[in-house]
Amino acid sequence: MNDEEVRRQITQMVKFIEQEAEEKANEINIAAEEEFDVEKRDVVEREKQKIREEYERKESAAEKEKRIEFSTRLNAARLRLLRARDDAVRGILAEARDELRDASDKPEYESLLVGLVEQGVAKLQATEAVIRCREVDAEKATAAMRRAEENAAAAGRELKLTLDTRAHLPPPPPPPPHDDDDDDASGEGGSARTRAATTDVASCIGGVHVLSVDGKVVCDVSLDDRLRVAFENNLPEIRGEIFDDGEDEIGDGDEIPGT
């Protein structure tokens, strides 16, 4: 083999080696780029996932806060409605009590006291009892006691009643305030303060308490107690008369008043 052939073979071998090296380098570059692309996609996807999770967390927190705020407002509105309903119903009770304010001035009041005394004695199941009344009713209560004793004697029963002179029921309620006078005297709001003060004063519209002789058992047959019992027993009917069915309910989809 001459020198020319040797150089040609060497040149071919160099070209082959260079081609192999170039192909290998290309393969390495392609593999590196593919690996880089995969890693880049993974990094981007992880960051996207973090962003999505953070957004979902904030969205969930905002939705939860919104539900809590709505629930708070809804409960507050329901409480305001219930208070308004209760005030309206209690207002009816106050009006009924005002109408009974002058019951003791009517001629039939003494007969009413007789019935109340007899009912109280019947509840005590006693032949002797103490009658406690308002101080202003002492004379009428005494007459009612005598009539109750006479009725018991006529029925063949023994009954002895004693008027309690050491303690009395609260006095009659004061007359209702005049709004015009209150407004002139104390300006706007004076009437409300006077009416509130009047309501806070202990008073009794009539009737009696029937006590055992030792004072340990008290049967309340006052007009105040009778009115309270009648009011509580008829409360569902009273509510039904002044409120529509379902008026006291605020649904989740209803507009909240006062917002």
Q: What is the pLDDT of residues 102-136, one digit of tens each?
A: 888 899 999 999 999 999 999 999 899 999 999 99
pLDDT at 241: 81
The answer to whether the CB of 148 falls within 8 A of the CB of 114 is yes
Find where tokens 């996932």 sit: 49
User: What pLDDT, in 10s, does the model give residues 92-111?
Assistant: 888 888 888 888 889 999 99
The residues, ordered by sequence, that sit 6+ positions from 162 with a Cβ below 8 Å of its Cβ are: 128, 129, 130, 131
Structure-token pair, residue 142: 């005494």
Domain 106-169+204-242 has CATH 3.20.20.60: no
The answer to whether the CB of 171 falls within 8 A of the CB of 136 is yes
User: Averaging pLDDT over each range in 99-108, 176-185, 215-224, 241-250, which range is the top one?
Assistant: 215-224
Model confidence at 250, in pLDDT bands (50, 70, 90)?
A: low
The answer to whether the CB of 225 falls within 8 A of the CB of 193 is no
Task: Tell me the domain boundaries of the chain.
Answer: 1-99, 106-169+204-242
Cα(83)–Cα(105) distance, integer angstroms = 35
- 155 or 191: which leads in pLDDT: 155
Give the DSSP H/E element, type plus range, for residue 24: helix 3-99
pLDDT at 102: 86
